[in-house]
Amino acid sequence: MDFSLTPKLEELRDRTRSFIRDQVIPFEKDLRQNEHGPGEDLRKELMELARKAGLLTPHASVEMGGLGLSHIEKAIVFEEAGYSSLGPTAMNIHAPDEGNIHLLEEIASPEQKERWLRPLVAGKIRSCFAMTEPAPGAGSDPSMLMTTAIKDGEDYLINGQKWFITGADGADFVIIMARGEDGSATMFLSDMNAPGIELVRNMDAMDSCFVGGHGVLQFTNLHVSSKQILGELGKGFKNAQVRLAPARLTHCMRWLGQAQRAQDIAIAYVKKREAFGKILGEHEGVGFMLADNDMDLQTSRLNIWHTAWLLDQGERCNFESSRAKVICSEAEWRVVDRCVQMLGGQGVTGETVLMKIFKDMRGFRIYDGPSEVHRWSMARKMIANKELK
Q: For a copy of itself, how many residues bind (rule: CB under 8 A)? A: 85
* 26 burial level (CB within 10 Å; 0-12, 13-18, 19+): exposed
The enclosing H or E element of 360 equals helix 354-361
- What's the CA gap between 162 and 171, in Å, rounded? 15
Identify residues 236-265 at the interface with a copy of itself (CB under 8 A).
Answer: none
Does 292 bind a copy of itself (CB under 8 A)? Our answer is yes
Does 140 bind a copy of itself (CB under 8 A)? Our answer is yes
The residue among 194 and 367 lying less far from a copy of itself, judged by its C-beta, is 367
Does 294 bind a copy of itself (CB under 8 A)? Our answer is yes
The residue among 225 and 350 lying less far from a copy of itself, judged by its C-beta, is 350
Nearest to 194 by CA among 155, 164, 249, 240: 155
Least CB distance to a copy of itself at residue 99 (A) = 17
Q: Which of 99, 189, 305, 311 binds a copy of itself (CB under 8 A)?
A: 305
Long-range pairs, 38-42, Cβ under 8 A, ≥24 = 38/86, 38/89, 38/209, 38/211, 40/170, 40/211, 42/86, 42/89
Does 379 bind a copy of itself (CB under 8 A)? Our answer is yes
Judged by CB under 8 A, the stretch of 26-34, 38-46, 50-58, 304-312 that binds a copy of itself is 304-312
Identify residues 161-190 at the interface with a copy of itself (CB under 8 A).
Answer: 163-164
Residues 389 and 310: beta-carbon distance below 8 Å? yes
Q: Which of 40, 194, 279, 334 binds a copy of itself (CB under 8 A)?
A: 279
- What's the CA gap between 265 and 269, in Å, rounded? 6
Identify residues 329-358 at the interface with a copy of itself (CB under 8 A).
Answer: 340-341, 344-345, 347-351, 355, 358
The residue among 223 and 367 lying less far from a copy of itself, judged by its C-beta, is 367
Cα-to-chain-centroid distance, residue 138: 20
Least CB distance to a copy of itself at residue 188 (A) = 23
The residue among 124 and 271 lying less far from a copy of itself, judged by its C-beta, is 271
Q: Which of 195, 284, 314, 387 binds a copy of itself (CB under 8 A)?
A: 284
Least CB distance to a copy of itself at residue 122 (A) = 30
* 258 burial level (CB within 10 Å; 0-12, 13-18, 19+): buried
DSSP conformational letter for 352:
S
Does 290 bind a copy of itself (CB under 8 A)? Our answer is yes
Q: Which residues contact 268 (CB under 8 A, 6 or more apart)?
A: none
Beta pairing class for 278-279 and 274-275: antiparallel
Identify residues 23-82 at the interface with a copy of itself (CB under 8 A).
Answer: 72
Identify residues 190-209 at the interface with a copy of itself (CB under 8 A).
Answer: 203-207
